[in-house]
Amino acid sequence: MTRILRYTGKGGVGKTSIAAATALLSARRGYRTIVLSTDIAHSLADAFDLPLGPTPTQIAPNLWGQEPDVYHNIGRYWSTIQKYMAELFSWRGLDAVLAEEMTVLPGMDELGNLLWIADHVESGDYDVIVVDAAPTGETLRLLSLPEASRWWIERIAPIGRRVSKIGRPMLERMIGVPIPRDEVFAAAERLLQRLDKVHRLLADPERASVRIALNLERLSIVEAQRSFTYFHLFGYPSDMVVCNRVLPAGLDGDGSFGTMRQAQQRYMPEVIAQYAPVPVRTVPQFDREMIGPERLIEIGEALFGHEDPTHFFYRGRPYQVKAEDGGHVLEVALPFTTRDEIQLSRDGDELSLQVAGLRRTIVLPRALVDAPTIGAKMEDGVLRIRFEGRADTRSGKSTKPSKRGD
Ligand SMILES: Nc1ncnc2c1ncn2[C@@H]1O[C@H](COP(=O)(O)OP(=O)(O)OP(=O)(O)O)[C@@H](O)[C@H]1O
Ligand SMILES: [Mg+2]
């Protein structure tokens, strides 16, 4: 099974260097490894000090690197949708070239990059995929998309197909925009299904881990906490936190670096306690430019020693269902969150969880579909949502049909 390691964190903390270092060590162990940048501001090639292209380029034995590019992605996934959008814009009198430019929507480029993960898993060409992801803020924005896509596929796509059967020309005159043809709906559906696939891969605890990189300074720590919460919310398992650029001992009392080191050392126990039981590891601040494979391997060795970098350093589930007191409890680990920050709503078999600006829709497992929710509380960073026992558990047959009718 292809192992997926994704590194993320605030801008400049060292994601690219650590991802590249991990990939180098993984390839050295004989795993066919690809390191893929999904950040649109690519810098993998700079870190390796080697040229990379939009498709995989071999850079060492067992090691490939890739910096996807937006136009390449559009050709692969978006052309049908893009043609429709260009049609839509030109219908409104927009110049054809400008219309084409406008169809590159924000976020689309990074999404296109993420889709490569699914391609690489399916190709079977690699044992390990290391992802150098965008700074967390950017990544978070895209997390809720797979959920949105499921909604689109189930509710909008069928309407669209029906509408396009009954009098398209009449409707187009009425609303003044071209109605997408069936193939546009089909292409959108395909695209969204691919996204959903990526989401499922990244949430699969048997293959994927997201590793958060941070520096020992307030803003970086706070951003790391926020993303850790969101990764739990979306069910992406995390197996490691990497503190990069930790100033080495021997600097104490030595002017401003000594002061910085002391500040870092004060943060350290706090960080370890916050993420426990997920392990926190450190990489020292090196006093040279850490560019090129040799330097990167030093980073990798500082981080992993002689251990296998693809190992699962922690295995925990972001959420699980437990039987309790004749009912069930859905537990969602939401570290760094208080109960007031969480909004919950329920619509049939869907439970909607909102933390700050982000919403996650959890499709409830079979056992909970017909069970009323009877309360929720936070306990030690875990949200516990209680469901009443199903009236029919003993008789063994369902009294209410489920919404989806499956
Ligand atoms: N432990 C370290 N010691 C010394 N230099 C480092 C260390 N880690 C990273 N660097 C250097 O810091 C700079 C930023 O690192 P890197 O590009 O890996 O960060 P990033 O998180 O990917 O940044 P961005 O958010 O811009 O993509 C690079 O010049 C890199 O070589
Ligand atoms: Mg980077």
Give per-residue pLDDT as tens, 35-87. Answer: 999 887 889 999 999 999 999 999 999 999 999 887 777 677 667 777 776 77
| Cα(330)–Cα(384) distance, integer angstroms | 6
Q: Give pLDDT, residue 149.
A: 63
Distance 403 CA to ligand 1 centre (A): 49
| Cα(384)–Cα(377) distance, integer angstroms | 5
Distance 70 CA to ligand 2 centre (A): 17
Please state the length of the chain.
406
| b/e map 221-254, b = 16+ CB within 10 Å | bebbbbbbbbbbbbbbbbbbbbbbbbbeeebeee
Q: Which of 8, 16, 223 has the most ligand 1 atoms within 8 A of CB, as the residue to mutate?
A: 16
Do residues 241 and 278 make contact, with C-beta atoms less than 8 angstroms apart? yes
Q: Which atom of ligand 1 is least distant from the CA of 39?
A: 27
Q: How many angstroms from the chain centroid is the CA of residue 223?
A: 15
Residues 219-233 have pLDDT tens digits of 999 888 888 887 887
**Token pair for 301:** 């060795």
If 0-12 CB within 10 Å is exposed, 13-18 middle and 19+ buried, where does residue 270 land?
exposed
pLDDT for 146 beyond 70: no
The packing angle between helices 108-123 and 182-202, to 10°, is: 70
| Cα(55)–Cα(116) distance, integer angstroms | 10
Do residues 329 and 340 make contact, with C-beta atoms less than 8 angstroms apart? no
**Token pair for 339:** 């109960």
Q: Which ligand is nearest to the CA of 18?
A: 1
375 versus 175: which is more confidently predicted? 375
pLDDT for 361 beyond 70: yes
Q: Are strands 3-9 and 128-132 parallel, antiparallel or unpaired?
A: parallel
Distance 22 CA to ligand 1 centre (A): 14
Q: Give pLDDT, residue 396.
A: 39
pLDDT for 140 beyond 80: no
Q: Which of 44, 246, 290, 299 has the most ligand 1 atoms within 8 A of CB, as the residue to mutate?
A: 290
| Cα(86)–Cα(58) distance, integer angstroms | 36
Q: Give pLDDT, residue 160.
A: 63
The packing angle between helices 218-233 and 136-143, to 10°, is: 20
Closest by Cα among 234, 209, 14 to 130:
209
Residues 321-351 have pLDDT tens digits of 788 888 888 888 888 888 888 999 888 778 8
- CA nearest ligand 1 atom 16, residue: 14
Distance 47 CA to ligand 1 centre (A): 8
Q: Give pLDDT, residue 399.
A: 37
Do residues 51 and 45 make contact, with C-beta atoms less than 8 angstroms apart? yes
Q: Which ligand is nearest to the CA of 67?
A: 2
The domain locations on the chain are 1-316, 319-387
- Which amino acid is it at 262? Q
Distance 217 CA to ligand 1 centre (A): 15
Q: What are the pocket residues of ligand 1 if the criterion is a CB atom closer than 6 Å to any ligand atom?
A: 11-17, 39, 43, 135, 244-245, 283, 285-286, 290-291, 299
Distance 229 CA to ligand 1 centre (A): 24
- CA nearest ligand 1 atom 4, residue: 286
| Cα(231)–Cα(224) distance, integer angstroms | 10
Helix segments in 276-380, DSSP class H: 293-304
Q: Give pLDDT, residue 151.
A: 63
Q: What is the mean pLDDT of residues 10-19?
A: 95
Residues 86-125 have pLDDT tens digits of 776 666 666 666 666 655 555 667 777 888 999 999 999 9
Distance 213 CA to ligand 1 centre (A): 11
Q: Which ligand is nearest to the CA of 244?
A: 1
If 0-12 CB within 10 Å is exposed, 13-18 middle and 19+ buried, where does residue 388 land?
middle
pLDDT for 397 beyond 60: no
Provide the CATH number for the domain formed by 1-316 in this structure. Answer: 3.40.50.300
Q: Which atom of ligand 1 is least distant from the CA of 285?
A: 3
183 versus 246: which is more confidently predicted? 246
| Cα(344)–Cα(351) distance, integer angstroms | 7
The helix (run of H) or strand (run of E) holding residue 13 is none
Predicted confidence band of residue 403 (pLDDT cuts 50, 70, 90)? very low
Which of these ranges, 263-267, 382-386, 401-405, has the smallest mean pLDDT? Answer: 401-405
| Cα(74)–Cα(109) distance, integer angstroms | 8
pLDDT for 279 beyond 80: yes
CATH of 319-387, one of 1.10.10.10, 3.40.50.300, 2.60.40.790, 3.40.640.10: 2.60.40.790
Do residues 216 and 268 make contact, with C-beta atoms less than 8 angstroms apart? yes
Do residues 117 and 131 make contact, with C-beta atoms less than 8 angstroms apart? yes
Strand order in the sheet with 373-379: 319-324, 327-333, 382-387, 373-379
**Token pair for 194:** 């691919």
pLDDT for 155 beyond 70: no
- CA nearest ligand 1 atom 8, residue: 14
Q: Give pLDDT, residue 144.
A: 61
Q: What is the mean pLDDT of residues 15-27?
A: 98
Q: What is the pTM of this model?
A: 0.82
Q: Which ligand is nearest to the CA of 136?
A: 1
Q: Which ligand is nearest to the CA of 135?
A: 1
Report the percent of the chain where pLDDT is more than 70. Answer: 77
Q: What is the mean pLDDT of residues 129-147?
A: 73
Predicted confidence band of residue 240 (pLDDT cuts 50, 70, 90)? very high
Q: Which atom of ligand 1 is least distant from the CA of 287?
A: 4
Do residues 198 and 77 make contact, with C-beta atoms less than 8 angstroms apart? no
Judge if the upstream peptide bond of residue 277 is cis by omega within 30 degrees of 0.
Answer: yes
Distance 373 CA to ligand 2 centre (A): 43
Mean confidence (pLDDT) of the chain: 82
Helix/strand number for the chain, H first, E second? 14, 15
Give 128's Cβ-side CA count (13 Å radius). Answer: 29
Q: Which of 7, 13, 15, 17 has the most ligand 1 atoms within 8 A of CB, as the residue to mutate?
A: 17
Query: At residue 8, what are phi and psi to the nearest 5 degrees?
Result: -145, 170
Which of these ranges, 78-82, 154-158, 400-404, has the smallest mean pLDDT? Answer: 400-404
- CA nearest ligand 1 atom 30, residue: 290
Q: Which atom of ligand 1 is least distant from the CA of 284?
A: 1
Predicted confidence band of residue 205 (pLDDT cuts 50, 70, 90)? very high
